[in-house]
Amino acid sequence: MTTGHLIGIVSRADVLSVFTRSDADIRREAGEEAIAQSFLTDSRSLNVTVHDGIVTLTGCPETDQAGHDAVEAVRHVDGVIAVRDQLDYAGTPR
């Protein structure tokens, strides 16, 4: 039901705040949370670097699917502009 009353304000800062995250913040979340959720038994097999919101993934995932899952998970981290997939896939089937 619309009452015509103001219930909140969304400011430009609110909308753009996700894009002002530091590279270190993005790297921490991408490395510690997103990649860990990709079911890698050893998430240290992947390296994460971030420069101006662009994440580069290097290393060798245990399977192709784990690598693709890690890339997709990192894409969903707030503040990520792009993901450069430079993983060395072992050629295991997806």
Q: What is the CATH number of the domain that holds 81?
A: 3.30.300.130
**Can you name the residues that pair with 83 across neighbouring β-strands?**
55
- pLDDT tens digits, one per residue of 34-69: 887 766 656 678 899 999 999 999 999 888 888 898
Evaluate whether residue 17 is within a structural domain: no
Residue-level pLDDT at 41: 58
Amino acid letter, 15:
V
Evaluate whether residue 8 is within a structural domain: no
Evaluate whether residue 92 is within a structural domain: no
Evaluate whether residue 94 is within a structural domain: no
Handedness of CA 78, 82, 88, 89 (dihedral sign): positive
Q: What is the four-CA torsion angle of 70, 74, 75, 81, rounded to 10 degrees?
A: -140
The residue behind tokens 């009452």 is: 3
pTM of the model as a whole: 0.73
